[in-house]
Amino acid sequence: MAAWSCLVTGAGGFLGQKIISFLVEEKELQEIRALDKNITPDIREAFSKLQTKAKVTVLEGDILDAQCLRRACQGVSVVIHTAALIDVTGVNPRETIMDINFKGTQLLLEACVQASVPIFIHTSSVEVAGPNSYKEIIQNGQEEEPLECRWTEPYPYSKKLAEKAVLAANGCTLKDGGTLHTCALRPMYIYGEGSKLISPIVKRALTTNGVLEKTGPFSLVNPVYVGNVAWAHILACRGLRDPKKAPSIQGQFYFISDDTPPQSYDDLNDTLCKEWGLRRDSRPSPPLFLMYWLAFLLEAVSFLLSPIYTYRPPFTRHLLVLSNSAYTYSYKKAQRHLGYEPRFCWEEAKQKTTEWVGSLVKQHKGTLKSKAQ
């Protein structure tokens, strides 16, 4: 294959950094452009330490800055789009979430057309497929099934619209007369070292006598290790660059899971943290149906107060369903089309993540010790 270059958006994020760490292993890769709005000194240093023949160019820029995106895409062969605002609790305004996740994707697609970038790989979300109700059970869901999220909450809705835009763009004509080819990957709940979701749970537990908060006692999901999600992106990149494999991948979406055992979110947190003395909350959980209707009442109060006061409920019906449903998905289609096999087994993924949790615990103890002195 000819020399090529790759732009990764959201490069400083949990997944973006891992993708770049695998990209440096790719043959004939001349340049990796790492685009993110916030590149910290630690991330910049981590990129500079990568042992790679390819040049790693760090770009600070906003996904909503059309001119920045056009410059970043100039001369690029592949775009891997991981940049997104992940917010299922409504901390950010709806407009902000929609702009970053949907409008940002549209602007990036337009930049690819203008810069004649032939390959676009989009990091979507399992939430594009649901769950829609805590009573609904999805077991080993397949891409061929008519699974679609019906929630209008900004995060799942924005990701659904973004994925539709990416897949609809497949086959469109580029400025130089070439053709844009796209695909989308839908990872499950991603865990692993550096997780921005697990880290605050651990830190809060360290301030509450080591008790882990409940995040989904009634759930049954198949979490996926960040290294395996990153690996799936690399395989999608290889596949779309391969003339023989590309036709079956173009315009397709893929669920990305691995061999992590199906379990609840609370089981996963307990497994990753118990070695360090952190334990699950043993108090009984309120019935789910009761919490659901309480969430409905809180949302009604929020709506009624909206003209005069912004009230954000502590939880919503969508959040309850998302964190307490039974839904697992198969990666068989990715296996067939992309040649995807998890790069890391469950035991290895668990060990790496547990060691990282240990580093958070030790860091916390070190901070307490220095304060005491």
pLDDT digits (tens, 9 = 90+) for 260-271: 999 999 999 999
Whether the pLDDT of residue 334 is over 80: the answer is yes
* Helix 14-23 vs helix 41-48: crossing angle, to nearest 10: 10
Instruction: Return the percentage of the chain with pLDDT > 70, whole number.
Output: 99
- Rounded Cα–Cα distance for residues 106 and 83 (Å): 12
The number of distinct structural domains making up the chain is: 1
Structural domain boundaries enclosing 19? 4-195+222-262+329-344
Q: Which is more confidently placed, 368 or 252?
A: 252
Q: How confident is the model at residue 90 (pLDDT cuts 50, 70, 90)?
A: confident
In a domain, 367, yes or no: no
SS3 content of the chain, % helix, strand, coil (to 5): 45, 15, 40
Can you tell me which residue has the tokens 């005491």? Answer: 372
Is residue 20 scored above 80 in pLDDT? yes
Q: Is residue 152 part of a domain?
A: yes
Q: Average pLDDT for residues 161-189, to the nearest whole number?
A: 98
pLDDT at 1 > cutoff 60: no
Would you name the residues annotated as active-site residues? Answer: 159
Residue 280 belongs to some domain of the structure: no
pLDDT greater than 80 at residue 203: yes
Structural domain contains residue 177: yes
Read off the tokens for 271: 């497994």
CATH of the domain at 82: 3.40.50.720
User: Which band of pLDDT confidence, cut at 50, 70 and 90, is reported for residue 373?
Assistant: low
pLDDT higher than 70, residue 280? yes
Alpha-carbon Rg of the chain, whole angstroms?
21
Q: What is the largest CA-CA distance in the chain?
A: 67
Output DSSP code: residue 276: G
Give residue 51's pLDDT. Answer: 74
Pair 272, 353: CB distance under 8 Å: yes
Residue 59 lies in a domain: yes
Query: Do residues 30 and 54 touch, judged by C-beta distance below 8 A?
Result: yes
* Spatial CB neighbours of 311, under 8 Å, sequence gap ≥ 6: 301, 302, 305
Is there a domain that residue 322 lies in? no
Q: What is the pLDDT of residue 243?
A: 95
Confidence category of residue 358, pLDDT binned at 50, 70, 90: very high
CA distances from 94 to 5, 91, 101, 153, 203 (A): 34, 9, 11, 8, 28
pLDDT in tens, 102-139: 999 999 999 999 999 999 999 999 999 999 999 999 99
pLDDT at 341 > cutoff 60: yes
Query: Which of 276, 154, 144, 259 minimizes the C-alpha distance to 205?
Result: 276
Average pLDDT taken over every residue of the chain = 95
- The burial of 283, by beta-carbon neighbours within 10 Å (0-12 exposed, 13-18 middle, 19 or more buried), is given as exposed
pLDDT band at 52 (very low <50, low <70, confident <90, very high): confident
Q: Residue range 292-310: average pLDDT?
A: 95
Residue 360 maps to a domain: no
| Residue 214 located in a structural domain | no
Cα distances from 29 to residues 1, 11, 70, in angstroms, run 10, 17, 21
